[in-house]
Structure 1
């Protein structure tokens, strides 16, 4: 019989209910992010026929000077490695990126933004930025923006410092096999 191990993501007191302020904050955050992402994705699909993840990959490539490895792309987007590979395949099929061996390391796949990918970004970015501004930034005052940026960066960094669910599962299997 395998002995039950505590969840490493759980913290003491983690089962306590949220207080009213925590619950209100959590719900507002989830609803805001959900609406923002849904509306941005809807616009991207209508204007350019790309998903939000595909758009993120194209922007990351542009910001990196046009080329990145598949590993760099997967590390920079919150998405599974197999999902990134699939999305890159769709972007390649659409002629927006190319994939091939990295000139510096044959073991690594490099991804490059094509001229068509750059043109698509040039077309999509102005309305995309306009929608993001209307949905998010227009509701903030001048003092809100730096405070919100600092808070969300701190929350993001805290979340990213936690072991991923997949790392926890692999660690548990390895521990169970050694037991």
Structure 2
């Protein structure tokens, strides 16, 4: 950490606090809706939605962890809960036996179908309705640029695993 970090001017500080508050308020309401409509946590919904959009409904666990920015051990636990509920299956990856592939089941797709209408209603009510179309487009562009900047140097939970070269000695 630098000895003399940059300070924030009032505009930057206001933007930061507004982002934190909006994020917290939206996530709280989304989590409540997901629990009530589908008995899902926020992370479980992210996993099911990601799998629902994936080709064949499957992704490797490490790719899921990288995409949802969640610890690999926490994701394994959440995937286990979803598997016990019959919403996903887990199996060794056909491409790499050291990896696990998670696949959404028909019951998982049904659960997504049950929560999506209320989820979309929450997003409209809390985030989209007070904005004009151009503002939504601008917000999306700004957030995408910030996300891409953050993904350039992601936290460990969001960083793709580095593959060990085959000539590297095993630990």
- Give the paired residue count: 157
C-alpha separation in 2, matches of 1:96 and 1:61: 11
| TM-score normalised by structure 2 residue count | 0.85
Listed one character per residue, the Cα deviations across residues 40-75 of structure 1 (whole Å, up to 9, x for unaligned) are 011101111110100000000010031111111111
Which residues of structure 2 form unaligned runs of 5+? 158-171
Higher relative contact order (CA 8 A, sep 6+): 2
C-alpha separation in 2, matches of 1:134 and 1:109: 38
Displacement of 1:163 in angstroms is: 5.1
C-alpha separation in 2, matches of 1:69 and 1:163: 19
Aligned to 2:44, what secondary structure does the other structure show?
helix
C-alpha separation in 2, matches of 1:87 and 1:22: 36
2:131 is the alignment partner of 1:134: no
- Pairwise CA RMSD of aligned residues? 1.9
- Partner residue of 1:71? 62
- Partner residue of 2:91? 100
Change in 2 beyond 3 A, CA 1:99/1:165 = closer
C-alpha separation in 1, matches of 2:112 and 2:118: 11
Displacement of 1:101 in angstroms is: 1.2
| TM-score normalised by structure 1 residue count | 0.82
Structure with higher Rg: it is 1
C-alpha separation in 2, matches of 1:107 and 1:165: 20
2:42 is the alignment partner of 1:52: yes
2:24 is the alignment partner of 1:26: no
C-alpha separation in 1, matches of 2:78 and 2:29: 20
